[in-house]
Amino acid sequence: MLILFNKPFNVLSQFTDKGNEGSDRQTLSDYIDVPNVYAAGRLDRDSEGLLLLTDDGRLQNRIASPKAKMPKTYWVQVEGIPDEAALAALRDGVALNDGQTRPAKVRRIDEPAGLWPRTPPVRFRKSVPDCWIELTITEGRNRQVRRMTAAVGHPTLRLIRYRIGEWSIDGLASGKWRPA
């Protein structure tokens, strides 16, 4: 079984919030009531979008393992307007404190059509422009996309994982799931 879930902002990518008794943080169990499925990889609490869940250990490993190099595509709202030099740096790989990233595919895009509002909304500042980029990576380091955009001078304001391999959030509203 494989489930595609469009994870909302501020939801943990796990079914329980262990060690935080009395916490009101939302988890996957607030949205998905399917036994014996587990997230294949993670998506930070402050990120949104596609999370795959499965009961198949081999498939989970194929999706999440860095050795598999499964491409992951993100829609990223960044502060400022990246110039060609910033985009080229992302394409070539960025030096982070834990080493050089693999080359990425990147392009500027319009705000994605049908994008749901984020709660709470991203803070708008009249004096600082922002734009959207589409970024595809084949690794999954901790907070990698956020660190990459910051390294080229364009901090991430909103991060949505759009696609993992062949699966995407097309037609899947925020907070909803469906079998693949």
Backbone angles phi, psi at 52, to 5 degrees: -100, 135
**Of 41, 40, 16, 42, whose CA–CA distance to 27 is shortest?**
16
- Is 24 known to be catalytic? no
Give the C-alpha separation, 125 to 60, whole Å: 40
Find the catalytic residue in 17, 24, 30, 44.
44
For 17, the token pair is 């919030």
Strands (E), 25-155: 38-39, 48-54, 72-79, 95-96, 99-100, 105-109, 130-137
For 140, the token pair is 């999954």
Could you list the active site residues? 44
